[in-house]
Amino acid sequence: MPRLSARAALTGALLLTGSALAASPRDTLVVQSSSDIPTLDPGGTYDTASGAIVENLYETLLTYRGNSLTRLEPLLATKWAVSNSGKTYTFDLRPGVKFHSGATMTCADAEYTFRRNIVTNNSSNGNWFMAESLLGTQSNAYEDKSITWARITAAVKCNAAGQLVFTLPKVDPAFLAKLAYSGQSVIERAYSARLGEWSGTEADWKAWIGKDLSETKLSRAPNGTGAYRFSRQDANTFVAQAFDGYWGQKPAIRNVVQQKVSELASRQQAFLRGDADLIDGGGRAPDETQLRGRPGVTWLDNLPNVTAGAIVMNQTIKAGGLLGSGKLDGKGIPRDFFSDDDVRRAFSYSFNYAQYISDVLRGKGTQRTMLLPDVFPGYDASGRTYRFDPAQARSAFQRAWGGQVWKNGFVLTANYRAGSVTAQTAMEILKKNVEALNPKFKVNIQPKQWSDMLDASGRGEEAMIILNWAPDYADPDNFMYTYYASDGYYAPRSNYRDERADGWLRAARQTVNMSERTRLYSRVAARTYDLAPYINLPAAVNYIFYRSNLGGISADTYNPMVSFMTGTNWKDLRKN
């Protein structure tokens, strides 16, 4: 690709916006990312690329305190009270907060925000978990006819004192953490309505049920309360500038430019030249090889990892294209191939976890007992984990499907994310070890575009894929229910069902006692070890790197729930 310096990109960006600001390197943060920005509408945000921008243009009621994953502090709120046996939350809102439009934030804006998120809730955004808290269901009003305008307005409203009041149908121990998610940022009602967004009234609410918010007019003209305001955006460049009317401490860095640069080598070269302050990495192996120890580069290692990844074995494959013959005849697999417990156990014993840690994670990884980050409350370090054991794998395959798997063999086709070296290597490790057990076993692995694979897996059409979950909110429910519940977010992808685990997961949602929740999650972990619904991939040790003249980043302040690149927001950075 042609070389474009950060200085040139910034100068062009400022000229296009008509700004008189100088392109001062010290006053400008330059970020290069491999991906585009799907949306700048908070209500439609459900990916890290969008969230990394939205969290700097907008603000939520609450945020995480320092580097803590368990302590929350007010942001657009100033305080809150809990009543009605834990089912009513009343928030005082910060006075004098300005939107980028110049309007003053009121309770009506916050009320509008959360009602809009409930109304537009659909499977492509994160509003399902807010609907679950406030209405008791993940569905929207088209999917659940019991959802009425009256129920929505009763769930969130402003009282006579100008306080924002949430009324939940039942206790939700994760509710406060959900409010810190960037997708729940407050937007301005009048401004949004003038753009042509929902009016906020009963008159047109049905026209907005389940509406896709990824390409709204608000996405093209964002208007938040954050320390930075939107300046301009095109296919490859996003520009923001410090907001002079910001209610909090004014940011040291005046301008932010984010460029889309697809090639890792190009991003690394720009970073080493100093043309970019932050870039998307390529994984520990290429990043360590090319960047660590180089002049002008600061590297922070041994940071907490709050993601969890797994190889998903779909127990009801709903498309025939990956099934071959569709039978256990050595030429394919049946749709319910992975519904046999011994098949899943055999694959779990066939994965070489130590090799994955060594080759993919460069020795910086650990096996977890459950699909929950070990830094989260509720994690049980004493649980069991699978190990690479060909003898155990062989025995399980010999038992599977009454001996038919071992006798006849199979052909399995597994897809992985195109361009992901990590996913490809994991599948290659599994393929090699499974095929070594029996010459009749064949595992075909093939790359597939991520968006296509996500769509297909959501319909239950993929046989085996790798998925990773990054938290929406720092509560164990966001992982445990997502992966293990029969109605969890990944249920259509794995078709895993277990009544006992469902009961424990529901019980954990009905108590704020973390000791009791931990006990219940430990039972889920033990149960899922026995049933092996997923192959739990070892978790990487997190790291970040940045140009050494960039201040405000440290291991003491790093919070993985904030920015995935730095663990802190733009407003807390400075350039020396």
Q: Which of 195, 211, 227 is the last residue of a domain?
A: 211
Last residue of a domain, one of 152, 176, 211: 211
Judged on CB neighbours under 10 Å (0-12, 13-18, 19+), 290 is: middle
pLDDT for 334 equals 98
- Verify that 30 and 108 share a domain, yes or no: no
Q: Within a domain: residue 218?
A: no
Q: How many domains would you assign to the chain? A: 3
Max CA distance (Å), the chain: 75
Does residue 57 contact residue 40 with C-beta atoms inside 8 Å? yes
Q: Write the CATH number for 28.
A: 3.40.190.10
The domain containing residue 167 runs over which residues?
62-211
The reply to whether 226 falls in a domain is: no
The pLDDT score that the predictor gives to residue 5 is 37
Alpha helices in 159-263 (DSSP H): 175-179, 189-195, 217-220
Coil, strand, or helix at residue 507?
helix
In this structure, the answer to whether residues 160 and 201 fall within a common structural domain is yes
> For residue 471, what is the domain's CATH number?
3.10.105.10
Same domain, 177 and 274: no
Sign of the CA dihedral running 53, 58, 61, 66: positive
User: Both tokens of residue 571?
Assistant: 């407003």
Query: How many angstroms separate the CA atoms of 385 and 458, rounded?
Result: 27
Q: For residue 456, what are the CA distances in angstroms to 38, 459, 536?
A: 19, 5, 21
Task: Return the CA Rg of the chain.
Answer: 25
pLDDT of residue 271: 95
In a 13 Å sphere around the CA of 462, the CA atoms on its Cβ side amount to 30
What gap in Å lies between CA 248 and CA 94, rounded to an integer? Answer: 11
pLDDT digits (tens, 9 = 90+) for 447-482: 988 778 888 998 999 999 999 998 989 999 999 999
| Phi then psi dihedrals of residue 65, to 5 deg | -85, 115
Q: Is 83 exposed, middle or buried (0-12, 13-18, 19+ CB in 10 A)?
A: exposed
Q: Do 205 and 262 have their domain in common? A: no
pLDDT of residue 48: 83
pLDDT, tens digit (0-9, with 9 covering 90-100), for 377-425: 999 999 999 999 999 999 999 999 999 999 999 999 999 988 777 899 9
Task: Supply the pLDDT for residue 8.
Answer: 37
Residue 237 makes CB contacts below 8 A (sequence gap 6+) with 9, 13, 257, 258, 259, 260
* Residue 385 within a domain: yes
Phi, psi (5° rounding) for residue 157? -160, 160
Asked if residue 266 belongs to a domain, the reply is yes
Question: Does residue 316 share a domain with residue 289?
Answer: no
Domain boundary among 211, 243, 278: 211
Which stretches in the chain have pLDDT values below 70?
1-24
Q: What is the pLDDT of residue 10?
A: 41
What gap in Å lies between CA 299 and CA 292, rounded to an integer? 7
CATH number of the domain residue 195 falls in:
3.90.76.10
Q: What share of the chain is helix, strand, coil (3-state, %, to 5)?
A: 35, 20, 45
User: Is the residue at 571 inside a domain?
Assistant: yes
One domain, residues 96 and 175 = yes
3-state secondary structure of 149: helix
Residue 480 lies in a domain: yes
Beta bridge partners of 448: 417
Q: What is the pLDDT of residue 494?
A: 97
At 372, phi and psi to the nearest 5? Answer: -145, 130
Same domain flag for 144 and 23? no
Co-location of 433 and 490 in the same domain: yes
Say which amino acid occupies 252.
A
- Residue 300 main-chain phi, psi, to 5 deg: -115, 125
Whether residue 270 is contained in a domain is answered as yes
Q: For residue 88, tell me if it sits in a domain.
A: yes
For the record, the structure tokens of 369 come out as 């007992």
- DSSP-derived 3-state class of residue 45: coil
Measured CA to CA, the distance from residue 561 to residue 373 in angstroms comes to 12
Q: What is the pTM of this model?
A: 0.84
Q: If residue 249 lies in a helix (H) or strand (E), which one and from where to where?
A: none
Residue 123: predicted pLDDT: 76
Rounding to the nearest 10 degrees, give the CA dihedral for residues 475, 478, 480, 485. Answer: 140
Identify any residues that bridge with 415 across adjacent strands, giving them in sequence order.
Answer: 446
| Residue 321 sits in the same domain as residue 294 | no
Pairing of strands 164-167, 88-93: antiparallel
User: Side-chain half-sphere of 93: how many Cα atoms within 13 Å?
Assistant: 23
Residues 269 and 382 in one domain: no
Both 78 and 183 in one domain: the answer is yes
- Pair 354, 415 in one domain: yes
How far apart are alpha carbons 214 and 223 in whole angstroms? 15
